């Protein structure tokens, strides 16, 4: 049988493995393997809910092994170290990160879905002193730091300063959730700080508006909502350096920071630049209209690590809907016989939605036929935002399991505190 190896179990990689397992794996037409460094999958657009304590990843995380068993593919845990294109193999780290021998996996077709990592743009001190949200581990580290900082500040009767660099979706969503978390922790007497005065959250954005993927009117609406929560919003402000206790902008102004989170941009992992494949300045793998590497017809790339240039819309943005569309495209392409005509991938922008806390969201949707943009906000936008995650669950599990997961989440929200109250 042909062996298809998918490296990376993010939104695109896991959806592709599930779809290929259901088609090729179930009827023994191909052996499908998924490789990831972590044992479970968490939908990356919701990492801000882990960082704020709203979501417990141990409850929400999906086991790769369980998904593999249910959908006829195999899962191998490990870090990809290198690739041998001549022998069509990849090398993985030793099992459980121990001192044993590295593992070698052969492939007939290889799909790289390696995701992205934070881009610090060479700002001095940013990589050393700023936290990130690249993984569940990063989000949990931020949550613990925020919790500990609030407790220590409560004992010392001092304020807490949080600076979020980057006014894109991640920065805006985290700021709104953190504001809610601060109020909830105060209500449960976890700390004695005044969430209005003592917990100071600042969002720094170098552009003229927050949320550059939205129209200026929607971005201004989001900024007004953040300010109504007591969050300081600074636009047209560039960061010159990050220290352990402050962020300095290019005007020389220092912004006190007990915690700094960097959410100002992403790039492909360093591994992409070591594989001998063509990459761009952000280390993204150059692919053609079929998402094949420009250097090797047996290697494909999707999601944030792929540099796909749409002939109409230009470079595809690093967003979950791009990874989903590319996964569905490759699921169909890899299931075809080699002598059939190769289709071309086309990205369709269906719009953007950004959460502004528990009860609000803002965004714009694109009509599938007309291409017209429709602005949405308030409760309606919040419902649509929640439906994006349900759609992801639908792709992974099917209708009934998705509804079961949704019901379980709803019940947990009714019987448990709205945020995690312990470290």
Same topology, domains 2-116+268-335 and 126-262? Answer is yes
In tens, the pLDDT along 144-169 reads 999 999 999 999 999 999 999 999 99
The Cα-based distances of 11 to 14, 182, 302 in angstroms read: 6, 30, 10
- Half-sphere exposure for 265 (CA within 13 Å, toward CB): 12
Query: Is the pLDDT assigned to residue 369 strictly greater than 70?
Result: no
Report how far residue 258's alpha carbon sits from residue 149's, in angstroms, rounded to the nearest whole number: 8
pLDDT for 313 equals: 80
Neighbours of 143 (CB within 10 A): 23
Strand 239-242 and strand 246-249: the pairing is: antiparallel
Tokens 């965004």 identify what position? 363
Question: Could you tell me if 163 and 260 are in contact, meaning their C-beta atoms sit under 8 angstroms apart?
Answer: yes
Q: Are 73 and 50 in contact (CB under 8 A)?
A: no
Kindly state the tokens that stand for 1: 């049988």
Q: What percent of the chain has pLDDT over 70?
A: 99
Domain positions in the chain are 2-116+268-335, 126-262, 351-415
Q: Is 326 helix (H, G, I), strand (E, B) or coil?
A: helix
- Whether residue 34 has pLDDT greater than 80: yes
Q: How is 274-286 classified by DSSP, letter by letter?
A: GSSS-B-TT-PEE
77/371: higher pLDDT: 77
CA–CA separation, 84 and 72 (whole Å): 27
Tokens 């599990």: give the residue. 397
Residue 101 in tokens: 């021998």
pTM of the model: 0.93
Domain 2-116+268-335 of CATH type 3.50.50.60: yes
Q: What is the mean pLDDT of the chain?
A: 93
- Residue 366 confidence (pLDDT): 85
Average pLDDT of the segment spanning 215-222: 92
Residue/partner pairs of 82-89 with CB below 8 Å, 24 or more apart: 82/274, 82/275, 83/110, 83/275, 83/276, 85/276, 85/296, 85/299, 88/298
List, edge to edge, every strand of the sheet that includes 239-242.
Answer: 239-242, 246-249, 254-256
Report the pLDDT value the prediction gives residue 42, as an integer from 0 to 100. 96
Kindly report the number of other CB atoms within 10 A of residue 35's CB atom: 25
Q: What is the pLDDT of residues 186-206, one digit of tens each?
A: 999 988 899 989 999 999 999
- Nearest CA to 368 among 325, 314, 309? 325
Q: Please provide the distance, in angstroms rounded to a whole number, between the alpha carbons at the two ends of the chain.
A: 48
Task: Read off the pLDDT band of 276 (50, 70, 90).
Answer: very high
Confidence band, pLDDT 50/70/90 cuts, at residue 367: confident
Grade residue 7 by pLDDT with cuts at 50, 70 and 90.
very high
pLDDT at 292 over 80: yes
Q: Let me know if 275 is exposed, middle or buried by CB neighbors in 10 A (0-12, 13-18, 19+).
A: buried
For every residue of 143-177, DSSP letters joined together read HHHHHHHHHHHHHHT--EEEEEE--SHHHHHHHHH
Check if CATH label 1.10.10.10 holds for domain 126-262.
no
- Rounded (to 5) percent helix, strand, coil in the chain: 35, 25, 40
pLDDT tens readout for residues 84-101? 999 999 999 998 777 788
Q: pLDDT tier at 423 (50, 70, 90 boundaries)? A: confident
pLDDT band at 142 (very low <50, low <70, confident <90, very high): very high
Residue pLDDT, tens place only, 346-366:
998 888 999 998 888 999 888
Residue 370 has pLDDT above 90, yes or no: no
- For residues 423 and 170, the model is more confident at 170
Q: Is 363 helix (H, G, I), strand (E, B) or coil?
A: strand
Tokens (6 digits) for 71? 């959908």
């Amino acid at each position: 049988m042909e062996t298809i190896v998918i490296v990376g179990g993010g939104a695109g990689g896991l959806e592709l493995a599930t779809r290929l397992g259901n088609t090729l794996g179930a009827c023994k037409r191909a052996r499908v393997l998924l490789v990831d460094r972590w044992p479970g999958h968490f939908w990356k657009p919701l990492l801000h809910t882990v960082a704020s304590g709203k979501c417990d990843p141990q409850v929400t995380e999906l086991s790769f092994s369980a998904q593999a068993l249910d959908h006829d593919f195999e899962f191998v845990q490990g870090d990809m170290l290198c690739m041998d294109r001549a022998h069509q193999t990849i090398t993985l780290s030793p099992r459980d990160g121990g001192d044993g021998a590295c593992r070698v996996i052969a492939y007939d077709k290889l799909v790289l879905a390696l995701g992205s990592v934070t881009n610090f743009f060479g700002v001095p001190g940013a990589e050393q002193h700023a936290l990130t949200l690249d993984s569940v581990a990063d989000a949990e580290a931020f949550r613990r730091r925020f919790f500990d900082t609030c407790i220590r500040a409560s004992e010392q009767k001092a304020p807490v300063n949080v600076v979020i660099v980057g006014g894109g979706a991640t920065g805006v969503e985290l700021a709104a959730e953190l504001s809610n978390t601060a109020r909830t922790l105060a209500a449960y007497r976890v700390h004695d700080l005044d969430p209005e005065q003592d917990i100071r959250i600042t969002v720094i954005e170098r552009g003229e508006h927050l949320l550059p993927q939205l129209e200026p009117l929607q971005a201004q609406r989001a900024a007004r909502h953040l300010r109504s929560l007591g969050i300081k919003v600074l636009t047209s402000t560039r960061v010159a350096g990050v220290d352990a206790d402050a962020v300095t902008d290019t005007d020389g102004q220092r912004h006190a920071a007990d915690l700094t989170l960097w959410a100002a941009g992403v790039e492909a992992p360093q591994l992409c630049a070591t594989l001998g494949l063509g990459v761009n300045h952000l280390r993204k793998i150059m692919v053609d209209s079929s998402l094949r590497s420009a250097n090797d017809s047996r290697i494909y790339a999707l999601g944030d690590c792929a540099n796909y240039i749409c002939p109409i819309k230009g470079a595809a943005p690093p967003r979950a809907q791009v990874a989903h569309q590319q996964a569905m495209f490759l699921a169909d392409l890899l299931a075809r016989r080699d002598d059939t005509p190769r289709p071309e991938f086309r990205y369709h922008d269906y719009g953007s939605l950004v959460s502004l806390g528990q009860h609000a969201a803002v965004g714009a949707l694109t009509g599938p036929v007309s291409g017209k943009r429709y602005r949405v906000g308030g409760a309606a936008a919040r419902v649509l935002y929640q439906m994006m995650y349900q759609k992801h669950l639908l792709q992974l599990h099917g209708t009934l399991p998705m509804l079961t997961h949704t019901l379980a989440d709803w019940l947990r929200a009714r019987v448990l505190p709205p945020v995690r109250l312990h470290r």
